Chain A
Amino acid sequence: GQSLEQPSEVTAVEGAIVQINCTYQTSGFYGLSWYQQHDGGAPTFLSYNALDGLEETGRFSSFLSRSDSYGYLLLQELQMKDSASYFCAPPSGSARQLTFGSGTQLTVLP
C-alpha cells in the first residue's frame, strides 16, 4: 500500500525560507514529485526527484533521500503568491500513477 505524511499547515512571513517535509511508503518507488495548488485552481507541477539529492529550480528546491523514504520542498524568499497547498506525490504502479497526500497548506504573511 501507499502512505504519505506531510504537515497539514505551515505559516511563514514574506522573505523567509520554509521547508515542507514528506515521508512516504510506496511499492515500486520511482521518485518523488511536488505539485502546487492555489485555492480553487488546478495543481501545477513544481519538481521531481528521481535520484537522491537536491534539485533546484529558481526559488524552489526539492530534496530526496531514498534510504530514509523522505523528501522535502524548500521555498526561499517567500512571496505572498506562494500561499497555496503543496503536495508530494510519488509515482507508483505499472502506469506510474501519482499518489497524492493530503497536502500542506502554506500561508505567507506580510
Chain B
Amino acid sequence: IAGITQAPTSQILAAGRRMTLRCTQDMRHNAMYWYRQDLGLGLRLIHYSNTAGTTGKGEVPDGYSVSRANTDDFPLTLASAVPSQTSVYFCASSDTPGGGSYNEQFFGPGTRLTVL
C-alpha cells in the first residue's frame, strides 16, 4: 500500500529551467492538491483538481501549471523556475473535494526543491 508517492524526493535546479514534480496516488481519490511550504510557515495551496479532467487555481498559482489526465496522477510543472520557488512541495489527495465528511486529506512525503 503506497498511498501517495512523490518524485523526486529532492532536487536542485538552475533558475530558468523547466521542472515537473510528479505525484501519484493509488487510493482512487477524486480530489488532488499541490501545496508549497516555506521554512517555518504553513502550507499554501497552489492548484487543485476536484476530479480527473478538471483543475483549479489555489492561493499561489503563478509560475505553476498542473494537469489531471487520469485519477491517479497530478503533475506540477514549473515552466521557468525562479529562486522564490525554493520550497517543499506536498501533494495531497482526498476522496471528495475538501476531504468529505471528515475533511481528511492524505499527504505525500514531499519534494524539497532548491532553485539557484
Q: Which residues does A use to contact B, with CB under 8 Å?
A: 30-31, 33, 41-45, 48, 50, 87, 91, 95-103
Beyond contacts A33-B99, A42-B109, A102-B40: 12 other A-B pairs, Cβ-Cβ < 8 A, are A42-B107, A42-B110, A43-B90, A43-B105, A45-B102, A91-B98, A96-B98, A97-B48, A98-B33, A98-B103, A100-B35, A100-B42
Scan B92-111; emit 1 where CB is below 8 A from any A CB, else 0. Answer: 10000111011111111110
Question: Are B48 and A95 in touch, CB under 8 angstroms?
Answer: yes
* Chain B residues near A (Cβ < 8 Å): 31, 33, 35, 40-45, 48, 50, 56, 58-59, 90, 92, 97-99, 101-110
Smallest CB-CB separation from A98: which chain B residue?
A: B105
A-B contact count (CB 8 A): 68
Tell whether, in the assembled complex, residue B99 and residue A87 are in contact, meaning their CB atoms are under 8 Å apart. no
> Is there contact, CB below 8 Å, between A42 and B90?
yes
- Contact assessment for A96 and B42 in the assembled complex, using a CB-CB cutoff below 8 Å: no
Chain B residues with CB under 8 Å of A44's CB are: 107
- Interface of B, secondary structure class, is mixed
Taking a contact as CB atoms closer than 8 A, the residue among A42, A43, A48, A95 that contacts B102 in the complex is A48
CA distance A95 to B103 in the complex (A): 11
Minimum Cβ distance to chain A for residue B42 (Å): 4
Given contacts A42-B110, A44-B107, contact A95 B43 (CB under 8 A): no
Asked if B104 contacts A48 (CB within 8 A), the reply is yes
Interface of A is mostly: loop
Give the CA-CA distance A33 to B100 in the complex, in Å.
Answer: 12
Residue in contact with B108 in the complex, picked from A42, A48, A50, CB distance below 8 Å = A42
B45 touches A97 (CB 8 A): yes
- For A45, A95, A103, the residue with the greatest tally of chain B CB atoms inside 10 Å of its CB is A95
Q: Is there contact, CB below 8 Å, between B48 and A102? A: no
B108/A95 in contact, CB under 8 A? no
Q: Which residue of B43, B48, B110 has the most chain A CB atoms within 10 A of its CB atom?
A: B43
> B48: which A residues are within 8 A, CB to CB?
95, 97
What B residues does A30 contact at CB under 8 A?
98, 103
* Interchain CA distance A93-B76 in the complex, whole Å: 22
Q: Which residue of B lies closest to A92 (CB)?
A: B98
